[in-house]
Amino acid sequence: MKAVRLYTTLICPYCVRAKLLLKGRGIAFEEIDVSGDPEKRSWLVETTGRRTVPQIFIGDEPIGGFDELRALDRSGELDKKLAA
C-alpha cells in the first residue's frame, strides 16, 4: 500500500473530515501540520498549486483535498491508487 500524507492546519474542518474518512477506512496516514511553518506551506502551494488544506498525497501524487478524497473513495478509485 502506498503511503498517505495529509497536510493540515489546526483549525480546519475539512482536515478533520479527511482524517475521519481515512481512519474509518482503516487507511494509515502521516499528518503534517503546516500551521506555523511558512516554508512547508510555501512548498505545498508550489507543489500543488493550491493554498487550501488539507492537501493529500498518495505516494508522491497530490490528489487534492477532502472533496477529491471523498470522490475517489465513492468511485472505488481510492483503493486502486493505494495499491498501484
pTM of the model: 0.92
Name the CATH architecture for the domain at 4-83.
Answer: 3-Layer(aba) Sandwich (3.40)
Mean pLDDT of 3-11: 95
pLDDT digits (tens, 9 = 90+) for 64-76: 999 999 999 999 9
Q: Write down the pLDDT at residue 27.
A: 96
Return d(Cα 71, Cα 35) in angstroms, integer: 26
pLDDT over 90 at 62, yes or no: yes
DSSP per position, 51-81: --S-EEEETTEEEESHHHHHHHHHHTHHHHH
Return d(Cα 69, Cα 15) in angstroms, integer: 11
Q: State the pLDDT confidence band at 78, using cuts at 50, 70 and 90.
A: very high
